[in-house]
Structure 1
Amino acid sequence: MASVRQTNAGTCFKEFRENWVKAHPCFGNRKNCGFRKRVLDKGRYERFIALARIFLHTVQGRKRIEGLFASHTLEDQQHYFDTMWDTRRWRSIFKIFFNKKVLAKRGLSPDYFHFDDGTESFVESFYRRSKHAMTELPIEGNYFLSQYLLGRYQTEMEIPDYLRLENFKTIQSRLDKIQIVTADVKKWLASREPTSIDCLSLSNICELMSIEETATTFEEVSRTARKGAWICFRNLMIPKNCSGFFVQSD
Protein backbone atom coordinates (compact mmCIF):
# COMPACT_ATOMS: atom_id res chain seq x y z
CA MET A 1 0.00 0.00 0.00
CA ALA A 2 3.00 2.29 0.41
CA SER A 3 3.14 3.36 -3.19
CA VAL A 4 2.58 6.43 -5.29
CA ARG A 5 -0.16 5.71 -7.83
CA GLN A 6 -2.05 7.75 -10.38
CA THR A 7 -4.50 6.25 -12.86
CA ASN A 8 -3.66 7.18 -16.45
CA ALA A 9 -1.10 9.64 -15.08
CA GLY A 10 0.55 10.23 -18.44
CA THR A 11 -2.75 10.91 -20.18
CA CYS A 12 -3.97 13.24 -17.43
CA PHE A 13 -0.75 15.22 -17.39
CA LYS A 14 -0.64 15.49 -21.18
CA GLU A 15 -4.14 16.98 -21.14
CA PHE A 16 -3.19 19.26 -18.25
CA ARG A 17 -0.06 20.51 -20.02
CA GLU A 18 -1.85 21.11 -23.32
CA ASN A 19 -4.59 23.11 -21.60
CA TRP A 20 -2.16 25.07 -19.46
CA VAL A 21 -0.10 26.12 -22.47
CA LYS A 22 -3.10 27.81 -24.08
CA ALA A 23 -5.32 28.72 -21.11
CA HIS A 24 -5.66 31.72 -18.84
CA PRO A 25 -4.73 30.74 -15.27
CA CYS A 26 -7.82 32.06 -13.45
CA PHE A 27 -9.79 28.86 -13.87
CA GLY A 28 -11.99 29.48 -10.82
CA ASN A 29 -14.46 31.75 -12.54
CA ARG A 30 -17.48 30.60 -14.49
CA LYS A 31 -15.98 31.49 -17.88
CA ASN A 32 -13.31 28.82 -17.52
CA CYS A 33 -15.48 26.01 -16.16
CA GLY A 34 -14.53 23.81 -19.14
CA PHE A 35 -10.92 23.53 -18.01
CA ARG A 36 -12.00 22.91 -14.42
CA LYS A 37 -14.21 20.01 -15.49
CA ARG A 38 -11.41 18.46 -17.54
CA VAL A 39 -8.58 18.88 -15.02
CA LEU A 40 -9.34 20.43 -11.62
CA ASP A 41 -12.51 18.37 -11.06
CA LYS A 42 -11.26 15.19 -12.70
CA GLY A 43 -10.52 13.06 -9.62
CA ARG A 44 -12.89 10.55 -8.05
CA TYR A 45 -12.94 12.50 -4.78
CA GLU A 46 -13.68 15.77 -6.60
CA ARG A 47 -16.61 14.17 -8.41
CA PHE A 48 -17.93 12.85 -5.10
CA ILE A 49 -17.71 16.31 -3.53
CA ALA A 50 -19.47 17.81 -6.56
CA LEU A 51 -22.36 15.39 -6.01
CA ALA A 52 -22.53 16.27 -2.32
CA ARG A 53 -22.47 19.97 -3.25
CA ILE A 54 -25.54 19.57 -5.46
CA PHE A 55 -27.39 18.08 -2.50
CA LEU A 56 -26.05 20.86 -0.25
CA HIS A 57 -27.48 23.54 -2.54
CA THR A 58 -30.84 21.77 -2.43
CA VAL A 59 -30.76 21.55 1.36
CA GLN A 60 -29.32 24.95 2.28
CA GLY A 61 -30.16 27.07 -0.72
CA ARG A 62 -27.87 29.42 -2.60
CA LYS A 63 -28.75 32.48 -0.51
CA ARG A 64 -27.86 30.79 2.78
CA ILE A 65 -24.59 29.42 1.40
CA GLU A 66 -23.50 32.80 0.06
CA GLY A 67 -24.53 34.36 3.38
CA LEU A 68 -21.87 32.32 5.14
CA PHE A 69 -19.20 33.96 2.99
CA ALA A 70 -20.45 37.41 4.02
CA SER A 71 -19.04 36.85 7.52
CA HIS A 72 -16.05 39.06 8.33
CA THR A 73 -14.96 37.72 11.72
CA LEU A 74 -14.80 34.36 13.46
CA GLU A 75 -17.53 35.58 15.79
CA ASP A 76 -19.75 36.29 12.77
CA GLN A 77 -19.03 32.84 11.38
CA GLN A 78 -19.84 31.12 14.67
CA HIS A 79 -23.09 33.05 15.04
CA TYR A 80 -24.14 32.36 11.45
CA PHE A 81 -23.33 28.68 11.82
CA ASP A 82 -25.29 28.36 15.07
CA THR A 83 -28.34 30.36 14.01
CA MET A 84 -28.61 29.83 10.25
CA TRP A 85 -26.50 26.91 9.09
CA ASP A 86 -26.49 24.05 11.58
CA THR A 87 -29.90 22.57 10.78
CA ARG A 88 -31.18 19.01 10.73
CA ARG A 89 -31.01 19.09 6.95
CA TRP A 90 -27.35 20.10 7.09
CA ARG A 91 -26.54 17.21 9.42
CA SER A 92 -28.45 14.83 7.16
CA ILE A 93 -25.84 15.40 4.43
CA PHE A 94 -23.23 13.65 6.54
CA LYS A 95 -25.54 10.72 7.26
CA ILE A 96 -26.28 10.32 3.55
CA PHE A 97 -22.86 10.93 1.99
CA PHE A 98 -20.25 10.27 4.67
CA ASN A 99 -21.24 6.88 5.99
CA LYS A 100 -19.16 3.73 5.55
CA LYS A 101 -21.31 2.23 2.81
CA VAL A 102 -21.19 5.28 0.56
CA LEU A 103 -17.51 6.00 1.18
CA ALA A 104 -16.61 2.39 0.40
CA LYS A 105 -18.43 2.65 -2.93
CA ARG A 106 -16.47 5.81 -3.66
CA GLY A 107 -13.20 3.94 -3.31
CA LEU A 108 -12.21 4.42 0.34
CA SER A 109 -10.20 1.44 1.56
CA PRO A 110 -11.86 -0.77 4.23
CA ASP A 111 -8.79 -0.20 6.40
CA TYR A 112 -9.95 3.37 6.94
CA PHE A 113 -12.93 2.08 8.87
CA HIS A 114 -10.68 1.07 11.76
CA PHE A 115 -9.63 4.67 12.41
CA ASP A 116 -9.81 6.35 15.81
CA ASP A 117 -9.78 10.14 15.93
CA GLY A 118 -11.85 10.52 19.08
CA THR A 119 -15.23 10.35 17.35
CA GLU A 120 -17.76 7.55 17.25
CA SER A 121 -18.29 7.40 13.49
CA PHE A 122 -17.30 8.75 10.09
CA VAL A 123 -20.46 10.86 10.15
CA GLU A 124 -19.46 12.57 13.40
CA SER A 125 -15.85 12.95 12.29
CA PHE A 126 -16.70 14.73 9.04
CA TYR A 127 -19.32 16.87 10.77
CA ARG A 128 -16.79 18.06 13.36
CA ARG A 129 -14.22 18.79 10.67
CA SER A 130 -16.70 20.86 8.68
CA LYS A 131 -17.75 22.80 11.77
CA HIS A 132 -14.11 23.53 12.57
CA ALA A 133 -13.54 24.86 9.04
CA MET A 134 -16.63 27.07 9.16
CA THR A 135 -16.32 28.46 12.67
CA GLU A 136 -12.66 28.38 13.72
CA LEU A 137 -10.83 29.27 10.50
CA PRO A 138 -11.27 32.65 8.74
CA ILE A 139 -13.61 32.23 5.80
CA GLU A 140 -12.33 35.30 3.97
CA GLY A 141 -9.80 34.15 1.39
CA ASN A 142 -10.49 30.47 2.13
CA TYR A 143 -10.54 29.21 -1.45
CA PHE A 144 -10.76 25.60 -0.28
CA LEU A 145 -14.11 26.22 1.38
CA SER A 146 -15.46 28.23 -1.53
CA GLN A 147 -14.60 25.37 -3.89
CA TYR A 148 -16.31 22.85 -1.60
CA LEU A 149 -19.47 24.87 -0.96
CA LEU A 150 -19.80 27.08 -4.04
CA GLY A 151 -18.00 25.02 -6.66
CA ARG A 152 -15.93 28.04 -7.66
CA TYR A 153 -13.52 30.61 -6.31
CA GLN A 154 -14.96 33.80 -4.82
CA THR A 155 -12.75 36.19 -6.77
CA GLU A 156 -9.69 36.04 -9.00
CA MET A 157 -7.66 37.18 -6.00
CA GLU A 158 -8.82 34.37 -3.70
CA ILE A 159 -7.21 31.51 -5.60
CA PRO A 160 -4.21 29.18 -5.15
CA ASP A 161 -0.80 30.56 -6.05
CA TYR A 162 -0.51 28.25 -9.06
CA LEU A 163 -3.57 29.92 -10.62
CA ARG A 164 -2.40 33.49 -10.11
CA LEU A 165 -1.75 35.50 -13.24
CA GLU A 166 1.68 36.64 -12.05
CA ASN A 167 2.81 33.00 -11.76
CA PHE A 168 1.36 31.74 -15.04
CA LYS A 169 4.34 32.37 -17.32
CA THR A 170 6.78 30.86 -14.82
CA ILE A 171 4.77 27.64 -14.53
CA GLN A 172 4.12 27.51 -18.27
CA SER A 173 7.84 27.73 -19.03
CA ARG A 174 8.72 24.88 -16.65
CA LEU A 175 6.15 22.24 -17.57
CA ASP A 176 8.82 20.19 -19.33
CA LYS A 177 10.63 19.79 -16.00
CA ILE A 178 7.79 17.74 -14.49
CA GLN A 179 8.33 13.98 -14.46
CA ILE A 180 5.68 11.51 -13.32
CA VAL A 181 6.91 8.38 -11.54
CA THR A 182 4.68 5.53 -10.39
CA ALA A 183 6.57 3.67 -7.69
CA ASP A 184 6.70 2.58 -4.07
CA VAL A 185 7.66 5.78 -2.28
CA LYS A 186 10.09 4.03 0.08
CA LYS A 187 11.96 2.37 -2.78
CA TRP A 188 11.97 5.51 -4.89
CA LEU A 189 13.38 7.63 -2.07
CA ALA A 190 15.98 4.92 -1.37
CA SER A 191 17.21 5.35 -4.95
CA ARG A 192 17.83 9.09 -4.49
CA GLU A 193 21.10 10.66 -3.44
CA PRO A 194 21.43 11.98 0.14
CA THR A 195 20.36 15.61 0.68
CA SER A 196 19.07 15.86 -2.90
CA ILE A 197 15.43 16.95 -2.46
CA ASP A 198 14.23 20.50 -1.72
CA CYS A 199 10.57 19.76 -1.02
CA LEU A 200 8.44 16.71 -0.24
CA SER A 201 4.65 16.60 -0.12
CA LEU A 202 3.33 13.42 1.49
CA SER A 203 -0.44 13.48 1.18
CA ASN A 204 -2.35 10.54 2.74
CA ILE A 205 0.26 7.98 1.69
CA CYS A 206 1.17 7.01 5.27
CA GLU A 207 -2.36 6.40 6.54
CA LEU A 208 -2.51 2.75 5.55
CA MET A 209 1.16 2.02 6.23
CA SER A 210 2.28 0.04 9.24
CA ILE A 211 4.37 1.78 11.89
CA GLU A 212 7.45 0.06 10.47
CA GLU A 213 6.68 1.20 6.91
CA THR A 214 6.05 4.74 8.11
CA ALA A 215 9.35 4.74 9.99
CA THR A 216 11.20 3.51 6.90
CA THR A 217 9.56 6.19 4.76
CA PHE A 218 10.57 9.01 7.09
CA GLU A 219 14.08 7.64 7.48
CA GLU A 220 14.39 8.06 3.72
CA VAL A 221 12.73 11.47 3.85
CA SER A 222 15.24 12.57 6.48
CA ARG A 223 18.14 11.14 4.47
CA THR A 224 17.19 12.67 1.12
CA ALA A 225 15.95 16.08 2.29
CA ARG A 226 18.36 18.96 1.92
CA LYS A 227 19.00 21.29 4.83
CA GLY A 228 16.07 23.70 5.01
CA ALA A 229 13.85 21.49 2.81
CA TRP A 230 10.09 21.94 2.99
CA ILE A 231 8.15 18.85 4.07
CA CYS A 232 4.35 18.73 3.95
CA PHE A 233 2.75 15.74 5.70
CA ARG A 234 -1.02 15.29 5.51
CA ASN A 235 -3.45 12.60 6.69
CA LEU A 236 -7.17 12.39 6.04
CA MET A 237 -8.60 10.09 8.68
CA ILE A 238 -6.05 7.96 10.51
CA PRO A 239 -4.04 9.91 13.13
CA LYS A 240 -0.30 9.50 12.68
CA ASN A 241 2.40 11.74 14.12
CA CYS A 242 5.64 11.96 12.16
CA SER A 243 7.61 14.20 14.55
CA GLY A 244 9.24 11.23 16.28
CA PHE A 245 10.89 10.12 13.04
CA PHE A 246 13.06 13.23 12.74
CA VAL A 247 16.23 13.99 14.66
CA GLN A 248 17.00 17.66 15.21
CA SER A 249 20.50 18.81 14.42
CA ASP A 250 22.30 22.10 14.84
Structure 2
Amino acid sequence: EPLLEMRDTAEQRTYFDTYLAPLFEHKLVRSLTSMKASLFGLGIPPAQYDSLASAGGGDMSVVLKQRLEKLVCDFPIAENYFAQQAFGRRYPSGDGGPLPLYLQSHNFADLRNRADRVTVVNRSVTQRLADEPEGSMDAYVLLDAQDWMTDQQLNELWAEITRTAKPGSKVIFRTADEPSLLPGRVSPEILARWTYHEARSREMTARDRSAIYGGFHLYELNA
Protein backbone atom coordinates (compact mmCIF):
# COMPACT_ATOMS: atom_id res chain seq x y z
CA GLU A 1 0.00 0.00 0.00
CA PRO A 2 1.60 3.32 -1.11
CA LEU A 3 0.30 5.17 1.94
CA LEU A 4 2.49 3.13 4.26
CA GLU A 5 5.61 4.39 2.50
CA MET A 6 4.78 8.09 2.63
CA ARG A 7 7.17 10.40 4.43
CA ASP A 8 4.87 13.15 5.70
CA THR A 9 1.29 14.36 5.94
CA ALA A 10 1.69 16.54 2.84
CA GLU A 11 2.21 13.43 0.72
CA GLN A 12 -0.69 11.75 2.49
CA ARG A 13 -2.95 14.74 1.72
CA THR A 14 -2.05 14.61 -1.96
CA TYR A 15 -2.80 10.89 -2.07
CA PHE A 16 -6.16 11.36 -0.38
CA ASP A 17 -7.24 14.21 -2.66
CA THR A 18 -6.10 12.37 -5.79
CA TYR A 19 -7.14 8.78 -5.19
CA LEU A 20 -9.46 8.40 -2.21
CA ALA A 21 -11.73 11.43 -2.07
CA PRO A 22 -13.06 10.92 -5.64
CA LEU A 23 -14.30 7.44 -4.71
CA PHE A 24 -17.07 8.96 -2.62
CA GLU A 25 -18.51 10.73 -5.66
CA HIS A 26 -19.35 7.42 -7.37
CA LYS A 27 -23.01 6.46 -7.30
CA LEU A 28 -22.16 2.85 -6.48
CA VAL A 29 -20.17 3.83 -3.39
CA ARG A 30 -22.88 6.20 -2.21
CA SER A 31 -25.50 3.51 -2.77
CA LEU A 32 -23.54 0.82 -0.93
CA THR A 33 -22.78 3.01 2.06
CA SER A 34 -26.46 3.94 2.35
CA MET A 35 -27.24 0.32 3.26
CA LYS A 36 -26.78 -0.52 6.93
CA ALA A 37 -25.58 -4.04 6.15
CA SER A 38 -22.61 -2.61 4.26
CA LEU A 39 -20.95 -1.52 7.51
CA PHE A 40 -21.55 -4.65 9.57
CA GLY A 41 -18.01 -5.73 8.70
CA LEU A 42 -16.70 -2.65 10.51
CA GLY A 43 -18.57 -3.66 13.65
CA ILE A 44 -21.22 -0.95 13.23
CA PRO A 45 -24.70 -2.23 14.20
CA PRO A 46 -27.89 -0.53 12.92
CA ALA A 47 -28.35 1.71 15.97
CA GLN A 48 -24.79 3.00 15.69
CA TYR A 49 -25.17 3.39 11.91
CA ASP A 50 -27.97 5.90 12.51
CA SER A 51 -25.85 7.82 15.01
CA LEU A 52 -22.89 7.85 12.65
CA ALA A 53 -24.95 8.93 9.64
CA SER A 54 -26.48 11.82 11.57
CA ALA A 55 -23.04 13.47 11.64
CA GLY A 56 -23.35 13.83 7.86
CA GLY A 57 -26.97 14.91 7.74
CA GLY A 58 -28.03 11.32 7.12
CA ASP A 59 -25.55 10.75 4.28
CA MET A 60 -23.15 8.01 5.36
CA SER A 61 -20.79 8.60 2.44
CA VAL A 62 -20.16 12.14 3.69
CA VAL A 63 -19.27 10.85 7.15
CA LEU A 64 -17.01 8.08 5.88
CA LYS A 65 -15.17 10.53 3.65
CA GLN A 66 -14.61 12.88 6.58
CA ARG A 67 -13.40 10.11 8.88
CA LEU A 68 -11.13 8.63 6.21
CA GLU A 69 -9.69 12.08 5.55
CA LYS A 70 -8.82 12.41 9.23
CA LEU A 71 -7.20 8.97 9.29
CA VAL A 72 -5.13 9.63 6.17
CA CYS A 73 -4.28 13.30 6.54
CA ASP A 74 -4.21 14.36 10.19
CA PHE A 75 -1.46 12.08 11.54
CA PRO A 76 1.80 10.72 10.11
CA ILE A 77 1.04 7.20 8.85
CA ALA A 78 4.39 5.99 10.15
CA GLU A 79 3.30 6.86 13.71
CA ASN A 80 -0.31 5.67 13.60
CA TYR A 81 -0.91 1.98 14.25
CA PHE A 82 -4.63 2.38 13.45
CA ALA A 83 -3.69 3.46 9.93
CA GLN A 84 -1.14 0.66 9.69
CA GLN A 85 -3.93 -1.82 10.37
CA ALA A 86 -6.44 -0.09 8.10
CA PHE A 87 -4.20 0.11 5.04
CA GLY A 88 -1.66 -2.66 5.62
CA ARG A 89 -3.84 -5.11 7.59
CA ARG A 90 -0.91 -5.67 9.94
CA TYR A 91 1.36 -4.06 12.49
CA PRO A 92 5.03 -3.49 11.66
CA SER A 93 7.22 -6.42 12.67
CA GLY A 94 9.31 -6.14 15.82
CA ASP A 95 9.47 -2.80 17.61
CA GLY A 96 10.44 -0.91 14.47
CA GLY A 97 7.11 0.86 14.00
CA PRO A 98 4.04 2.09 15.85
CA LEU A 99 2.50 -0.52 18.15
CA PRO A 100 -0.07 -0.45 20.96
CA LEU A 101 1.60 -0.41 24.37
CA TYR A 102 0.59 -3.99 25.11
CA LEU A 103 2.38 -5.24 21.97
CA GLN A 104 5.64 -3.44 22.64
CA SER A 105 8.15 -6.06 23.75
CA HIS A 106 9.62 -3.96 26.57
CA ASN A 107 6.19 -4.09 28.27
CA PHE A 108 5.80 -7.89 28.11
CA ALA A 109 7.32 -8.49 31.55
CA ASP A 110 4.97 -5.98 33.18
CA LEU A 111 1.97 -7.55 31.45
CA ARG A 112 2.99 -11.01 32.59
CA ASN A 113 3.60 -9.92 36.17
CA ARG A 114 0.29 -8.07 36.46
CA ALA A 115 -2.00 -10.42 34.55
CA ASP A 116 -3.49 -11.75 37.78
CA ARG A 117 -4.96 -8.30 38.47
CA VAL A 118 -7.42 -8.71 35.60
CA THR A 119 -10.86 -10.22 36.23
CA VAL A 120 -13.05 -11.13 33.26
CA VAL A 121 -16.78 -10.69 33.94
CA ASN A 122 -19.42 -11.72 31.41
CA ARG A 123 -22.12 -9.28 32.53
CA SER A 124 -23.26 -5.81 31.60
CA VAL A 125 -21.49 -2.91 33.29
CA THR A 126 -24.78 -1.89 34.90
CA GLN A 127 -25.22 -5.33 36.46
CA ARG A 128 -21.61 -5.41 37.60
CA LEU A 129 -21.81 -2.00 39.25
CA ALA A 130 -24.98 -3.00 41.11
CA ASP A 131 -22.80 -5.32 43.22
CA GLU A 132 -20.43 -2.54 44.26
CA PRO A 133 -20.83 -0.27 47.32
CA GLU A 134 -21.53 3.43 47.07
CA GLY A 135 -18.58 5.71 46.41
CA SER A 136 -16.19 2.87 45.67
CA MET A 137 -15.05 3.64 42.10
CA ASP A 138 -13.06 6.46 40.53
CA ALA A 139 -12.78 5.67 36.80
CA TYR A 140 -15.14 4.30 34.14
CA VAL A 141 -14.30 3.47 30.51
CA LEU A 142 -17.43 2.88 28.43
CA LEU A 143 -15.89 2.76 24.93
CA ASP A 144 -18.74 3.29 22.41
CA ALA A 145 -21.30 0.90 23.95
CA GLN A 146 -23.80 3.66 24.73
CA ASP A 147 -24.41 4.29 21.04
CA TRP A 148 -26.83 1.37 20.86
CA MET A 149 -28.41 1.68 24.31
CA THR A 150 -32.01 2.70 24.87
CA ASP A 151 -32.86 5.68 27.08
CA GLN A 152 -33.84 3.29 29.87
CA GLN A 153 -30.54 1.44 29.64
CA LEU A 154 -28.60 4.71 29.67
CA ASN A 155 -30.42 5.93 32.76
CA GLU A 156 -29.91 2.63 34.58
CA LEU A 157 -26.22 2.68 33.71
CA TRP A 158 -25.64 6.27 34.79
CA ALA A 159 -27.64 5.78 37.98
CA GLU A 160 -25.23 2.99 38.94
CA ILE A 161 -22.18 4.97 37.85
CA THR A 162 -23.31 7.95 39.92
CA ARG A 163 -24.08 5.78 42.95
CA THR A 164 -20.72 3.99 42.91
CA ALA A 165 -18.55 6.98 41.95
CA LYS A 166 -16.33 8.88 44.36
CA PRO A 167 -16.24 12.70 44.09
CA GLY A 168 -13.88 13.57 41.26
CA SER A 169 -14.44 10.26 39.48
CA LYS A 170 -14.10 10.39 35.71
CA VAL A 171 -16.02 8.70 32.90
CA ILE A 172 -14.69 8.54 29.35
CA PHE A 173 -16.42 7.23 26.24
CA ARG A 174 -16.61 7.64 22.49
CA THR A 175 -19.59 8.25 20.23
CA ALA A 176 -20.15 7.77 16.52
CA ASP A 177 -21.77 11.20 16.29
CA GLU A 178 -19.90 14.31 17.40
CA PRO A 179 -21.96 15.56 20.39
CA SER A 180 -22.34 13.73 23.67
CA LEU A 181 -25.47 11.59 23.57
CA LEU A 182 -26.36 12.07 27.25
CA PRO A 183 -28.20 15.45 27.29
CA GLY A 184 -31.89 14.93 26.62
CA ARG A 185 -31.65 11.20 27.22
CA VAL A 186 -30.22 10.78 30.72
CA SER A 187 -32.14 12.26 33.64
CA PRO A 188 -31.26 15.94 34.28
CA GLU A 189 -31.01 15.12 38.00
CA ILE A 190 -28.24 12.62 37.26
CA LEU A 191 -26.40 14.82 34.78
CA ALA A 192 -26.53 17.76 37.20
CA ARG A 193 -24.12 15.86 39.41
CA TRP A 194 -21.53 15.68 36.64
CA THR A 195 -19.36 18.22 34.84
CA TYR A 196 -18.81 17.76 31.12
CA HIS A 197 -15.30 18.89 30.17
CA GLU A 198 -16.19 20.16 26.72
CA ALA A 199 -12.87 21.76 25.77
CA ARG A 200 -10.87 18.76 26.93
CA SER A 201 -13.26 16.44 25.09
CA ARG A 202 -12.78 18.38 21.84
CA GLU A 203 -9.02 18.24 22.32
CA MET A 204 -9.05 14.48 22.82
CA THR A 205 -11.38 13.98 19.85
CA ALA A 206 -8.88 15.79 17.64
CA ARG A 207 -6.11 13.52 18.95
CA ASP A 208 -8.05 10.29 18.36
CA ARG A 209 -5.97 8.56 15.68
CA SER A 210 -8.52 5.81 15.05
CA ALA A 211 -10.59 8.49 13.24
CA ILE A 212 -13.80 6.44 13.02
CA TYR A 213 -15.44 8.09 16.03
CA GLY A 214 -17.08 11.50 15.99
CA GLY A 215 -16.51 12.36 19.63
CA PHE A 216 -14.44 11.56 22.71
CA HIS A 217 -16.13 12.64 25.94
CA LEU A 218 -14.98 13.25 29.51
CA TYR A 219 -17.31 13.65 32.49
CA GLU A 220 -16.27 14.28 36.12
CA LEU A 221 -18.41 13.78 39.23
CA ASN A 222 -18.85 17.01 41.16
CA ALA A 223 -17.43 17.15 44.68
> What is residue 21 of structure 2 aligned with on the other side?
86
Residue 227 to residue 168, structure 1, CA distance change in 2 (3 Å): farther
State the alpha-carbon separation in 2 of the partners of residues 84 and 126 from structure 1.
15
Tell whether the 8 Å contact from 1:204 to 1:236 is kept in structure 2 after alignment.
yes
**C-alpha root-mean-square deviation of aligned residues, in Å?**
3.4
> What is residue 25 of structure 1 aligned with on the other side?
none
State the alpha-carbon separation in 1 of the partners of residues 98 and 8 from structure 2.
15
Give the one of 132, 142, 148 matched to 1:208. Answer: 148
Tell whether the 8 Å contact from 2:34 to 2:59 is kept in structure 1 after alignment.
no
Which consecutive residues of structure 1, in runs of 5 or more, have no partner in the other structure?
1-61
Which consecutive residues of structure 2, in runs of 5 or more, have no partner in the other structure?
196-220
Residue 209 (structure 1) shift: 1.7
Residue 103 (structure 1) shift: 3.3
Residue 183 (structure 1) shift: 1.8
State the alpha-carbon separation in 1 of the partners of residues 74 and 171 from structure 2.
25
* Matched position secondary structure for 1:183: coil
State the alpha-carbon separation in 1 of the partners of residues 91 and 40 from structure 2.
29
1:133 aligns with 2:71: yes
1:1-250 → structure 2 map (5 Å cutoff): 62=1, 64-67=2-5, 70-73=6-9, 75-88=10-23, 96=32, 99-103=35-39, 108-115=44-51, 116-154=54-92, 156=95, 157-226=97-166, 229=169, 231-236=171-176, 240-242=180-182, 245=191, 246-247=194-195, 249-250=222-223
State the alpha-carbon separation in 1 of the partners of residues 81 and 43 from structure 2.
25
TM-score by length of 2: 0.65
Residue 86 to residue 142, structure 1, CA distance change in 2 (3 Å): same
Tell whether the 8 Å contact from 2:4 to 2:77 is kept in structure 1 after alignment.
no
Deviates more, 1:235-244 or 1:142-151: 235-244
Residue 96 (structure 1) shift: 4.9
- 1:133-171 per-position Cα deviation (integer Å, ceiling 9, x unaligned): 212334341111111111122462411111122221111
Residue 218 to residue 139, structure 1, CA distance change in 2 (3 Å): farther
Q: Which amino acid letter does the alignment assign opposite residue 60 of structure 2?
A: F
Tell whether the 8 Å contact from 2:30 to 2:61 is kept in structure 1 after alignment.
yes
Residue 229 (structure 1) shift: 4.6
Q: Which amino acid letter does the alignment assign opposite residue 83 of structure 1?
A: T
State the alpha-carbon separation in 2 of the partners of residues 90 and 171 from structure 1.
46
* Larger RCO (CA under 8 A, 6+ residues apart): 1
Kindly, what percent of the aligned residue pairs are identical? 23
Residue 198 (structure 1) shift: 4.3
Q: Which amino acid letter does the alignment assign opposite residue 144 of structure 2?
A: N
TM-score by length of 1: 0.59
Tell whether the 8 Å contact from 1:143 to 1:160 is kept in structure 2 after alignment.
yes
* Matched position secondary structure for 2:142: strand
